[in-house]
């Protein structure tokens, strides 16, 4: 199951009950708006941010932060990054948190890729290695944003009322702007990559309040969702069977059988998916076709519980 992450600003509550309600709905993390503009410009600080951070942590949620961009030049972008980092450190945002920039204001569009890289690099240079950027899908479609030119690679994309993000290789998809929690509306995202919902280990992680502790930094996978709603992760590898396994034309237990593979057979795969209690592998076949096989079992949280072979 894909983890949920909510983003909150001054429009959302700051009380503990709200964040406990988020957690009870399966939300794993929040992204709190801290700032907007620069110290010598808009100089906006979310007045609820500190309590939102404290109470999200008390509710057991991981805490990340975002800044709403207003920059119109490279230097302006650096100034805004400095303002963001200064407030983040003051509010106790640890260096294992994700620091994101929100790109949606119309005045920022000229030379946006270069300005955004200046912002993100400044944040990284200040000791926050996990950076990201957010925008609507249309800005990717019309060329306002070029993901190949931006140093952050997760991509947090908004696209509502559709069955998929609409942008390739999205790490985090904001699919709703009206998720209801205790009567309040909140933006909600699927965190395919785990970038926001799994802890990032850094040198000073032990001093950070975020919970849970001591989780390894996740691998950043290219991801997509197929037409059955199952999430796939790009990974190339070799699987050697230790027992007989059915190879099928689809990644479902009732999909049409291609063949039954024998122990010792070697399968080259290019992607995996965890669904229906199994860890599925995708085998590349001739003529652009794929075969699918189960490599073992997993629990409802996607944790592997058995392996029916070995990986090389």
Q: Encode pLDDT of 113-138 as tens digits.
A: 999 999 999 999 999 999 999 999 99
**Residue 234 in tokens:** 């790009």
For the chain, percent of residues with pLDDT exceeding 70: 93
Residue 246 has pLDDT above 60, yes or no: yes
Residue 206 has pLDDT above 80, yes or no: no
- Mean pLDDT within 241-264: 92
For the chain, percent of residues with pLDDT exceeding 90: 75
- Mean pLDDT within 189-216: 61
pLDDT tens-digit series, residues 264-303: 999 999 999 999 899 999 998 887 889 999 999 988 878 8
- Which structural domains are found in the chain, ordered by start? 3-223 (3.20.20.80), 226-311 (2.30.30.40)
Residue 51 has pLDDT above 90, yes or no: yes
Residue 223's pLDDT is 85
């Amino acid at each position: 199951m894909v983890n949920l992450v909510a983003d909150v600003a001054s429009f959302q509550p700051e009380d503990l009950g709200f964040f406990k309600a988020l957690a009870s709905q399966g939300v794993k993390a929040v992204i709190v708006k801290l700032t907007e503009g620069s110290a010598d410009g808009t100089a906006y600080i979310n007045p609820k941010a500190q309590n939102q951070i404290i109470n999200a942590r008390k509710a057991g949620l991981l805490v990340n932060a975002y800044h709403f961009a207003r920059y119109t030049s490279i230097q302006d972008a650096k100034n805004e990054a400095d303002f963001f980092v200064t407030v983040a450190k003051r509010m106790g945002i640890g260096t294992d948190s994700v620091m994101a920039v929100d790109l949606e204001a119309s005045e920022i569009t000229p030379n946006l890729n270069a300005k955004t890289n200046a912002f993100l690099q400044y944040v990284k240079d200040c000791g926050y290695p996990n950076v990201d950027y957010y925008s609507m899908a249309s800005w990717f479609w019309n060329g306002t944003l070029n993901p190949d030119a931006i140093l952050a690679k997760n991509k947090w994309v908004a696209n509502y009322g559709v069955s998929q993000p609409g942008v390739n290789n999205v790490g985090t998809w904001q699919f709703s702007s009206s998720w209801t929690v205790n009567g309040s509306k909140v933006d909600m995202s699927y965190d395919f990559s785990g970038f926001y919902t799994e802890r990032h280990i850094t040198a000073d992680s032990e001093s950070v309040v975020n919970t849970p502790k001591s989780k390894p930094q996740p691998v950043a996978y290219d991801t997509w969702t197929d037409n059955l709603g199952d999430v796939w992760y790009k990974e190339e590898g070799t699987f050697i069977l230790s027992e007989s396994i059915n190879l099928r034309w689809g990644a479902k237990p009732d999909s049409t059988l291609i063949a039954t593979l024998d122990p010792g057979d070697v399968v080259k795969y290019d992607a995996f998916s965890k669904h229906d209690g199994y860890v599925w592998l995708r085998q590349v076949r001739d003529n652009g076709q794929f075969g699918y096989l189960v490599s073992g079992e997993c629990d409802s949280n996607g944790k592997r519980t058995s392996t029916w072979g070995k990986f090389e």
